[in-house]
Structure 1
Amino acid sequence: MTTTKDKLKERVKELTCLYEVTSIIVNSDYDQLDASLEAIVYCLKRAWQFENVTEAYLKVNEYQVQTDDFKHNMVTLISKIKVFNKIEGEVIVGYPPNQYTHDDFLVEEQTLLNNVALDIGNLIERKQIRDSEAITRRKMERTDRLHILGEITAGIAHELNTPLANILGFSELLTDKVTDQETVRDLKKIMDSAIFSREIVKKLMFFACEMPQEMKTVKLIPIVTGVIKLLGPSLRNKKIKLVSTFENERIELRGDTVQLTQVLFNLIMNAIYYSPENGIITVKVLETDGFVLLKIADHGKGIPAELEDKVFEPFFTTKPIGEGSGLGLSVVHGIITSHKGSIEHTKNTPKGTIFTVNFPKQ
């Protein structure tokens, strides 16, 4: 490049590229970033001195785009893409190696590439912030919804306790007075139904954190192994292999033994139900500073995206009618909340679900 006209032409191309990249980023759809990043690499192709042979490549996080004829053996300029001050990718512009050398690049082109890499990093940062805010908002909405459901459920449970106790008590009195066996059988059916209803009320009170607890320091691993042993027949019926990993056999936390058993029973039983025959379930117990993590993973169909926020709601179930009351996970959520812990579910790889329970030790 020898003439002022040529130099001016290159500066115009560079400024045009920066303007186009900025416009692409401002108008980006965060849910379709591939299209925006592809548009950026083609802007770069047009901005270089020998644009007819210029090719570009961009990789950041899970995104990877390039112009049609890009080859990794080209003579290249490279600029790293930083996201929150951590290198997460790179953007590369290259010339054919048999025709050009590094001396054919302009100093200004490296500056342009660095600026574009900076803009891309800022774009990815904004997307991650937006995604994080969306996740936090969904969690808060779910927590609020479950809190309201808990208050309603507690009220319903308290209101039902008295009439159920009356039904059960008077049925028992009548059983003692009646001699007709058919009437006694009918009264037994009434009592059985009342007892069943009382168990439902008890589960509702677990969800609403209304059940009394016997909190003490307990060893967690014996509880886990006890539940696994109890569920042995169910595992064998579906030929499921359960793999358990304990980071420390002496892990302790403060909790109610019966309620912790109920949490483990429900989560593992759920994993068994949704696992295919000859499947694998993994149970891991890990320790971090001040917390105990419990991870239960299956390889079932997983939780559909549209149902992810409903799994802890009472009476919600994807099981056929008669196979589940929809109270298992809501009870689990209530118990964990009353232990000042948290529970979340994530997708397993290649398929299935991982439930992660986080208990404070004290």
Structure 2
Amino acid sequence: MEQPVSIEEKLKERVKELTCLYNVSSLIRKSNFSDTENLLRGIALNLKESIRYPDAAFVEIQTNKSSIVEGKQNQDAIFIVSAIKVFSEIFGSIKVGYSKVKFSQNAFLEEEEFLLNKIASEIGVFFERKQIKEKEILANRQIERIDRLSILGEITAGIAHELNTPLANILGFTELLKERYKTDEVGTKDLQKVINSAIYSREVVKKLMFFSCEMPQQMEVINCVPIIKEAIGLLNPNFIKKNIKSELFFNKENIQLKADKIQLTQVVFNLVINAIYFSPVNGKIKISVEENKENIQLSISDEGVGIPLNSAANIFNPFFTTKPIGEGSGLGLSVVHGIVKSHKGAIKHLPNLPKGTIFVINFPKK
């Protein structure tokens, strides 16, 4: 059991506490924010050694993401505890304890409680700095991405304008040639391939113009229900081709949304075509539109392979695609992202358990 504390012992304990504070400060100062678990373990070890009865004590540091224990933790224990706060919010706790069988609450010195509070405060400040650093890194990445997209937007706008005229000429003259040589079956098929390729290229140019914001918006308050229904209806042949079922749900028959009709259709087309492409034969795609107090939510889910973790951060980047070469321009989701942002909305993707992906778009009301 614990003994009364002499002056000599108090001085000895005080030295241990000051040494502990110095060591903890050094550990935090040298930390580069990358290995917080080892840092907390080092703090726990130093704190345990500074306690009056280190061999019998245990130290537990818990945060939202980890739990560190040094010493033998007893279920039936007495302890002192201090909250770890990050920006005034509870982030975790630090606890020092003994077996209740051998010790009483008097085993703890008043200075040890001050020490525990000080270390909890130091840990809280560390995690505040860590969060600030992470936000700075994220902000810098977003700034760099905006700069790159701005430059890319200017380039793609120029490319789109330059390609429009020659593509129109290719389509026009190929149609004339097809009419002139309509008796030549092989030649007609080859000319049709040229037309199909030109049409595909024209669609890519159109997406480039959407991406570079060269397509003027005609924003108006509309009932989005018939527009979305019509867009899905136009894709019926695509559903039939893979024998995919579609489920369409609206929580109201009149959902008012301030939007550009053409761009809203483009959003639905791109997301549903993607869902069809990645869906298995006999799969199911669900499209739902719900109006709530704050916004209008459009969600499209499929039963495909889902988005790989190593691709999740890049899927809205222009020219990024997981489709084989020749089967995708990598602009579809980038265009969707740009349109949603221009409508002051937000888009995210989630796993559709047990398999597949859900894209969720939130548009502000009017």
2:209 maps to 205
1:10 maps to 13
* Whole-Å separation in 1 of the counterparts to 2:106 and 2:248: 59
Change (3 A) 1:240 1:9: farther
* Whole-Å separation in 1 of the counterparts to 2:273 and 2:191: 33
Deviation at 1:236, TM superposition (A): 11
The alignment partner of 1:30 has SS state of: coil
The farther-off stretch of 314-323 and 234-243 is 234-243
What are the ranges of 5 or more consecutive residues in structure 1 without an aligned counterpart?
none
* Whole-Å separation in 2 of the counterparts to 1:268 and 1:175: 33
Match among 144, 148, 153 for residue 156 of structure 2: 153
Change (3 A) 1:358 1:188: same
Map 1:259-274 to 2 at 5 A.
Answer: 259-271=263-275, 273-274=277-278
Asked if structure 2 preserves the Cα contact closer than 8 Å seen for 1:293 and 1:359, the reply is: yes
1:138 maps to 141
* Whole-Å separation in 1 of the counterparts to 2:183 and 2:86: 80
Change (3 A) 1:175 1:224: closer
Match among 61, 79, 85 for residue 82 of structure 2: 79
**2:216 is equivalent to residue 216 of structure 1:** no
The alignment partner of 2:100 has SS state of: coil
**2:112 is equivalent to residue 109 of structure 1:** yes
**2:37 is equivalent to residue 34 of structure 1:** yes
Asked if structure 1 preserves the Cα contact closer than 8 Å seen for 2:345 and 2:364, the reply is: yes
Change (3 A) 1:196 1:336: same
Instruction: Return the letter of the residue paired with 2:337.
Output: H
Change (3 A) 1:14 1:253: same
Match among 150, 156, 168 for residue 171 of structure 2: 168
Instruction: Return the letter of the residue paired with 1:5.
Output: E
* Whole-Å separation in 2 of the counterparts to 1:177 and 1:235: 35
Asked if structure 1 preserves the Cα contact closer than 8 Å seen for 2:57 and 2:98, the reply is: yes
The farther-off stretch of 294-303 and 162-171 is 294-303
TM-score by length of 1: 0.84
Asked if structure 2 preserves the Cα contact closer than 8 Å seen for 1:284 and 1:296, the reply is: no
2:98 maps to 95
Q: Percent sequence identity over matched residues?
A: 47
Deviation at 1:327, TM superposition (A): 2.1
The alignment partner of 2:79 has SS state of: strand
Asked if structure 2 preserves the Cα contact closer than 8 Å seen for 1:294 and 1:358, the reply is: yes
Asked if structure 2 preserves the Cα contact closer than 8 Å seen for 1:45 and 1:54, the reply is: yes
Asked if structure 1 preserves the Cα contact closer than 8 Å seen for 2:24 and 2:43, the reply is: yes
1:331 maps to 335
Render the CA deviation track for 1:266-306: whole Å, top value 9, x for unaligned: 234434545678788785756565x545455667443434x
Asked if structure 2 preserves the Cα contact closer than 8 Å seen for 1:302 and 1:351, the reply is: no
The alignment partner of 2:82 has SS state of: strand
Deviation at 1:193, TM superposition (A): 2.6
* Whole-Å separation in 2 of the counterparts to 1:167 and 1:343: 37
Change (3 A) 1:160 1:251: same
What are the ranges of 5 or more consecutive residues in structure 2 without an aligned counterpart?
none
Deviation at 1:207, TM superposition (A): 1.4
* Whole-Å separation in 2 of the counterparts to 1:279 and 1:68: 54
Render the CA deviation track for 1:308-359: whole Å, top value 9, x for unaligned: 5532333321112343232211221232243344445577889876645343
